[in-house]
């Protein structure tokens, strides 16, 4: 019996079995990574090569990417879909066979350098869907036996085509999963942000999210202020303070008024763009996306603005994501804005209540004190608000004050009690009292409000005036019946003195809060005593600065001298203060003072609810300008020419400059006073002053060489004299200028 021979499998049948294997192997994969790994395994095994890679195309970034397993993590390798042999195959839509990679100009050697792998030969073909759409590239490296052939290329094309359906399906599933994940993250983020009620914090979170979400450099969110018709933002990268502008101006204004989203790929090519903001901030705007923020009713409540998309301009997807995000959090923005308005109103009411000179007390329906402003605590002679808040009203107003409790129990309408009398802490208070029932929206009783106006006029007047001047002077005014006239307003000639501590910020940093308060109390005590000893009036403390007046409310023939003598004593007192500080291991304190004599207006100035006795006028402003010049000249006491010419006594002075101060067009002479100095602090004073004053005469005449000679002599007498050193340098500069232009006024070219 003849043996039956086995029929050999044809090449076509092998090819069909191979494609079936590819289809079956990829059909059982559960993820894109598994499918790519399966295809690489099959192709490298069948075609017999060292390594294989599947690159997929990212249409958003126009990059080819592959995934490489590193332990439990997957790392992506990305490059532009026009680079390398893979990029060539993708772009040209045809396969490539490279026998010697390093001789092919399409090959990217940097990949080998980074990975340490040596590429010899390459087989590469586009990965297409059934419809022919390119979705990536399949690449094999280093054929193990011989070289890659056309037959290998055909086989690779067939296997990748067979696998494309499964790969495309996994790509779609992965994209859906990523979209679902992003949607969940998006909703969680919206929920977290919308729960924030503090407007500044909310805006900070929103712009940080927008910047990250759209891969941009900077974002801002502008809210419309319906009261002022302005767009404003309190936070934003590069902003140091609240930014406001009319809600119809600029690109943001256009978006707000039109409701249209604006996507500008090149900002400087758009005529609507205002480059002034870039110039002021130093930021360079390349691209801009600006969209309206709309609430649930379709009303535009603000504008979101995003700048400089990384890698190019903003896409349509960016527009959709920004619109979706801002629409979701618009309720949170409205709630935060409403909360902010309510908080601002509460703060305003609280501030107004605290600033009132009348005492205000509110009592709830149970007879418990709910609120008492600082004026009320002071009028009732309480130590603190703890002594009255949450206390029963009848326990506070007892004894001789019990009558007012009976008034509260019977009150039905507003009642005004004129010239009533209360007694607290053994002190009688003459006052006007207004009692007012508090009612709710449906006329339900919420309690009672008391307003107490202290009308102990003589005591109040003396207390107020004693804050500004010597107590004896206050008594003198009150005894003469001039108090009300003086406080009401007066125009006179006065000498204004300003003093200011130097490097105060640095000093406070080393002292701390409590130390700073203690230091200022000690310092001000010394300075105010010097002022009041000369009959001056303390106008106000301005932080670490002092403003004092000589000549009002009571004028003297020698008020300019009184002001200057006070300044000299303030310097002497400061030097003694510094000796004490040195013994305690503390750093010395320095300050500068400026004086000016001119027409001033004095009186109680302010609103009916808060007034201060003060002075105003150009004379006050000039005194402040003179004081601010002390540091420039190394001086401690400077005065204007008006004070200098009004002096009756003789002092050691020198004219140190003629300057044009802010707000003036005519130069003003400035003089330095040196009477407080000792031989140690200013050696050879008489000789130095003589030579310096000679130098100033030559300087004013424009005789620079003679002026320099005199100033240098003054330098030798006191090398530490800043003015002499300054004028030597200044004359050297002026020698190079046209003498015809000299008018005796130095114009600085730098600060």
Instruction: For strands 591-607 and 610-616, give the pairing.
Output: antiparallel
Phi, psi dihedrals of residue 325, rounded to the nearest 5°: -65, -50
| 8-state DSSP, 392 | B
pLDDT of residue 336: 57
Q: Does the pLDDT value for residue 751 go beyond 50?
A: no
Q: Find, among 311, 306, 299, the residue nearest to 211 by Cα.
A: 306
| β-pair partners for 420 | 431
Q: Looking at 326-340, 556-570, 606-620, 721-735, which range is the least confident one?
A: 326-340
| β-pair partners for 667 | none
Instruction: For strands 216-225 and 300-309, give the pairing.
Output: antiparallel
Q: Does the pLDDT value for residue 637 go beyond 90?
A: yes
Instruction: Give the residue, 569 or 613, on which the prediction is more confident.
Output: 569
**CB-based contact 362:371 (threshold 8 Å):** yes
Dihedral, CA atoms, 701, 704, 705, 707, nearest 10 degrees?
70
How many alpha carbons lie under 13 Å from residue 543 in its C-beta half-sphere? 8
Query: Which two three-digit tokens encode residue 553?
Result: 């409310």
* Whole-number percent of the chain with pLDDT over 90: 15
Mean pLDDT of 509-515: 81
Mean pLDDT of 158-164: 73
**CB-based contact 699:727 (threshold 8 Å):** yes
**Cα(283)–Cα(430) distance, integer angstroms:** 63
Q: Does the pLDDT value for residue 646 go beyond 90?
A: yes
Residue listed under structure tokens 């399906």: 169
**CB-based contact 536:628 (threshold 8 Å):** no
pLDDT of residue 69: 46
Residue range 41-74, pLDDT digits in tens:
778 877 888 888 888 888 777 888 886 543 444 5
**Cα(114)–Cα(399) distance, integer angstroms:** 93
Residue range 227-278, pLDDT digits in tens:
899 988 755 555 556 778 888 888 888 889 998 998 988 888 887 777 777 7
Q: Looking at 19-33, 452-466, 678-692, which range is the least confident one?
A: 452-466
Mean pLDDT of 470-494: 57
pLDDT of residue 70: 39
Average pLDDT of the residues of the chain: 79
**CB-based contact 507:587 (threshold 8 Å):** yes
Q: Looking at 313-317, 476-480, 489-493, 566-570, which range is the least confident one?
A: 476-480
**Cα(585)–Cα(310) distance, integer angstroms:** 56
Ranked by mean pLDDT, which of 306-315, 510-519, 696-705 comes out on top?
Answer: 696-705
Instruction: For strands 49-58 and 134-143, give the pairing.
Output: antiparallel
Q: Looking at 177-181, 245-249, 255-259, 397-401, which range is the least confident one?
A: 177-181
Q: Looking at 219-228, 437-446, 513-522, 525-534, which range is the least confident one?
A: 437-446
């Amino acid at each position: 019996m003849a043996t039956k021979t086995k029929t050999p499998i044809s090449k076509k049948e092998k090819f069909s079995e191979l494609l079936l294997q590819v289809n079956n192997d990829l059909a059982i994969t559960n993820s894109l990574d598994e499918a790519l790994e399966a295809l690489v395994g099959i192709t490298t095994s069948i075609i017999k090569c060292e390594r294989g890679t599947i690159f997929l195309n990212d249409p958003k970034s126009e990059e080819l990417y592959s995934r490489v397993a590193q332990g439990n993590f997957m790392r992506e390798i990305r490059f532009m879909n026009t680079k390398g042999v893979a990029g060539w195959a993708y772009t040209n839509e045809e396969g490539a066979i490279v026998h010697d990679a390093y001789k092919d100009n399409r090959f990217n050697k940097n990949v080998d350098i980074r990975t340490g792998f040596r590429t010899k030969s390459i087989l590469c073909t586009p990965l297409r869907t059934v419809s022919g759409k390119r979705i990536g590239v399949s690449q094999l490296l280093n054929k193990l036996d011989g070289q890659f052939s056309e037959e290998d290329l055909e086989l690779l094309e067939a296997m990748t085509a067979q696998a494309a359906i499964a790969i495309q399906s996994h790509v779609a599933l992965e994209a859906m999963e990523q979209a679902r994940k992003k949607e969940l993250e998006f909703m969680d983020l919206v929920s977290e942000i919308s729960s924030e009620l503090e407007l500044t914090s909310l805006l900070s979170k929103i712009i940080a999210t927008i910047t990250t979400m759209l891969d941009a450099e900077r974002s801002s969110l502008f809210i419309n202020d319906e009261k002022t018709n302005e767009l404003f933002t309190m936070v934003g990268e590069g902003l140091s303070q609240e930014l406001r502008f009319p809600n119809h101006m600029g690109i943001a204004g256009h978006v707000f008024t039109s409701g249209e989203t604006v996507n500008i790929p090149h900002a400087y090519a758009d005529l609507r763009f205002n480059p002034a903001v870039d110039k002021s901030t130093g930021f360079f705007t390349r691209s801009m996306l600006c969209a309206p923020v709309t609430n649930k009713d379709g009303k535009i409540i603000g504008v979101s603005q995003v700048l400089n998309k990384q890698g190019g301009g903003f896409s349509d997807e960016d527009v959709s994501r920004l619109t979706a995000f801002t629409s979701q959090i618009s309720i949170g923005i409205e709630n935060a804005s409403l909360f902010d308005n309510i908080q601002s109103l509460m703060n305003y009411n609280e501030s107004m209540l605290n600033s009132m000179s009348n005492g205000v007390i509110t009592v709830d329906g149970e007879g418990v004190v709910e609120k008492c402003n600082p004026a009320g605590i002071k009028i009732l002679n309480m130590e603190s608000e703890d002594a009255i808040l949450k206390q029963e009203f009848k326990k506070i107003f007892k004894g001789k004050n019990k009558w007012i409790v009976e008034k509260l129990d019977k009150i039905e309408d507003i009642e005004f009690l004129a010239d009533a009398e209360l007694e607290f802490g053994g002190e009688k208070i003459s006052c006007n009292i207004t009692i007012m029932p508090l009612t709710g929206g449906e006329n339900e009783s919420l309690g009672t409000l008391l307003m107490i106006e202290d009308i102990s006029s003589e005591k109040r007047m003396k207390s107020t005036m004693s804050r500004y001047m010597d107590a004896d002077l206050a008594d003198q005014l009150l005894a003469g019946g001039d108090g009300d006239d003086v406080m009401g307003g007066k125009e006179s000639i006065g000498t204004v003195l300003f003093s200011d501590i130097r490097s105060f910020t640095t000093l406070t940093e080393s002292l701390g809060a409590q130390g700073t308060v203690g230091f200022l109390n000690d310092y001000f005590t010394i300075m105010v005593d010097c002022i009041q000893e000369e009959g001056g009036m303390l106008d106000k403390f301005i932080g670490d600065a002092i403003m004092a007046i000589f000549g009002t409310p009571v004028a003297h023939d020698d008020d300019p001298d009184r002001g200057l003598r006070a300044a000299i004593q303030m310097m002497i007192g400061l030097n003694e203060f510094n000796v004490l500080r040195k013994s305690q291991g503390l750093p010395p304190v320095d300050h500068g003072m400026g004086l000016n004599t001119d027409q001033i207006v004095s009186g109680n100035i302010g609103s009916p609810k808060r007034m201060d006795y003060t002075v105003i006028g150009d004379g006050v402003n000039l005194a402040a300008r003179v004081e601010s010049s002390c540091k420039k000249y190394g001086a401690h006491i400077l005065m204007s020419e008006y004070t200098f010419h009004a002096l009756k006594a003789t002092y050691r002075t020198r004219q140190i400059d003629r300057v044009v101060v802010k707000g003036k067009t005519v130069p003003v002479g400035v003089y330095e006073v040196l009477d407080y100095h000792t031989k140690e602090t200013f050696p050879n004073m008489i000789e130095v002053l003589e030579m310096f004053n000679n130098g100033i005469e030559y300087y004013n005449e424009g005789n620079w060489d003679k002026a320099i000679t005199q100033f240098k002599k003054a330098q030798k007498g006191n090398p530490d004299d800043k003015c002499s050193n300054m004028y030597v340098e200044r004359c050297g500069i002026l020698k190079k200028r046209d003498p015809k232009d000299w008018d005796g006024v130095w114009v600085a070219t730098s600060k």
